[in-house]
Amino acid sequence: MRTVHGTVRGAVEKGVAVFRGIPYAAPPVGARRFRAPEPPEPWTGVREALAYGPTAPKRPYAPPLDRLLPDPAVPGEEWLNLNVWTPSPKPDATGLPVLVWIHGGSLLHGSSAVPVYDGSAFARDGVVLVSVNYRLGVEGFGVFPDAPANRGLLDQLAALEWVRDNIAAFGGDPDRVTVAGESAGAVSIAALLATDRAAGLFRRAVLQSGAPAALTPEAAGGTTELIAKRLGVPATAAAFAAVDPDALLTAQAEVTSGGNPLTGRTSFQLVVDGELLTHDPADALRIGTAAGIDLLMGANTEEYRLWFVPGGLTERTSRLKFRLALLKFRVPSATARTYRGNRPDATPGEILGALATDLLLRVPLNRLADARTDAPGSTYVYEFGWPSPVQRLGACHALELGFVFDTLAHPDTAALTGPDAPQELADAMHRAWVAFAATGDPGWPSWDASRPVRFFGPGAPALVLAPRDDELRGWEPYRKRS
């Protein structure tokens, strides 16, 4: 297959063509480190595209999450690469819808090599699937006075530009691109929706378990400052470039360990830098930026359980700790009473998890959907509620991924789902994502004043209007006006 930088050779697997490890930008090392991505060097001859390309520098998830979220690492410097699954080169496989996957992992973990993200089922069903690697941690999101901010986001834009320029050769239609992501991937996509540079690169977007968010450079720079202090160097790109890479990863892991995305921790965030991101993505999207883009978004019912349950936080949260957390997050007392009343048998830790899940995910996603009620682009909302039996994880964060990709049979997927996850639910959820990429309609009514939500499990998928609306009304931004 010919790209603008050279010819690549993939393989046929499961009846579809697969190309792995195609560079979309030059290796971000040496003089290119901590800089915006640059085009790759063209090559002559045929480049083998049979194996996943190198992954960005990272450390595995800390125990016990490392057993639940396998995160392969591939050595090498060409981190900025992507993979393509396509029905092409079949003669009739042209002008196909394209779905570009941006992985999650708190901007610290993950890659396109995670087996759960295998794109075979999408290609089997007529969608070209592209999965992308991008810079992580301080390499991609450290804040420096002598380097551009949001480098990982710039990488994602470069990958989308590669798709625009090359995907037709793989049977895809550059005018039918959907960008999709989960967790930090969804947060990234919300930022892409809010930036002018992404205009025209995709016409639809999927946000799974991630809401629009970004910080000021001063607030986001705190993580970089702490790493610099631990290393004993200035918080500049020039100083960090001189540090041994393994020592840098160690300091990064030490600074960002502890806590979790719901209760808070030192972490990397996107930055409102005044150049790529000129406004907070949440504000930009609510006032109509990207209003013409079709949007599918949602979250899992018990997102919190991935972080709370394996480490025992649900059991360790006493009534006193619960009350202190309510004060810290400024949760209205009436709202807390509503959640307690709806969960009479729940522990304080479980109620706190439900509040945190809604505060950080369901509430902002509903608010965004409300703001888009009259937008030219359609908005669809889902909730994933099938409970995993593994370690009492329930309908936790990341559980829906194997259903979306129809990869329940893979052992890495079963680490979260267990061996008996319902294939019929995966069929339904995967079919909805395929339909959205192909037509912009996943198969249920778009968002309006009745607030329709498609529930995926337990049991058969069902449409519910304004689910748990009493809880949403308890949060001030969603209080109904009289």
Catalytic residue IDs: 183, 303, 397
Answer whether the bond into residue 310 is a cis peptide, omega within 30°.
Answer: no
Of 137, 165, 15, give the one whose Cα is nearest residue 85: 15
CA atoms within 13 A on the CB side of 219: 9
Give me the helices (H) in 372-460, please.
401-404, 411-417, 423-439
The phi-psi region of residue 434 (left if phi > 0; otherwise alpha if psi is between -120 and 50; otherwise beta) is alpha
Nearest to 337 by CA among 470, 478, 465: 470
The candidate with the shortest Cα–Cα distance to 206, out of 379, 439, 372, is 379
Nearest to 353 by CA among 332, 398, 390, 322: 322
CA–CA distance, 89 with 382 (Å, rounded to integer) = 34
Map residue 66 onto helix, strand or coil.
helix
Q: Bridge partners of 379?
A: 295
In sequence order, the 6+-apart residues with CB closer than 8 A to the CB of 232 are none
Tell me if 33 sits within 8 A of 70, measured CB to CB.
Answer: no
Query: Are 373 and 295 in contact, with CB atoms under 8 Å apart?
Result: no
C-alpha distances (whole Å) from 458 to each of 375, 426, 454 are 32, 12, 12
Q: Are 38 and 25 in contact (CB under 8 A)?
A: yes
Q: How far apart are CA 376 and CA 355, in angstroms?
A: 32
Structure token digits, residue 241: 């470039």
User: Which string of DSSP letters, residue by residue, matches 139-165?
Assistant: HHH---TTS-S-HHHHHHHHHHHHHHH
Tell me how crowded residue 29 is: count the other CB atoms within 10 A of its CB: 13
Q: How far apart are CA 208 and CA 227, in angstroms?
A: 30
The vertex-102 CA angle with 24 and 137, nearest 5°, equals: 85
Length of the chain, in residues: 482
458: helix, coil or strand? coil
**CB 98, CB 259: distance < 8 Å:** no
What the block records as the tokens of 88 is: 């092409």
